[in-house]
Amino acid sequence: MLLAALQTSADAIAALLTCSLAAGGKVKGFGGQAASFFGYQVAHESYHHGEIGLILGHAGFALDNKTAYGLWNCK
């Protein structure tokens, strides 16, 4: 279920970027170009990866290196 939700989200972002690029690069509701929006999305996702690790660590469930790096290879 989680992977399906992630795929739906990825598809929506891809469609948004495709439409934005076709319309001259502007992203509706975002104050910049599609490339800036993509960079923002990468940074935002990175923040959540770190947040997950931090919260788990504080709760006593620190991630081992294999799992922590595995978060970046979600397929």
What DSSP element (H or E) covers 68? helix 65-70
What would the mean pLDDT of 35-51 be, rounded to a whole number?
92
Q: What is the mean pLDDT of the chain?
A: 90
What's the rounded Cα separation, in Å, for the pair 61 and 50?
14
Mean pLDDT within 47-71: 91
Q: 73: pLDDT confidence band, cut at 50, 70 and 90?
A: confident
Residue 2 pLDDT grade (very low, low, confident, very high; cuts 50, 70, 90): confident
Q: Distance between the two ends of the chain, CA-based, in angstroms? A: 13
Q: Which amino acid is at 52?
A: I
Report helix, strand or coil for 74: coil
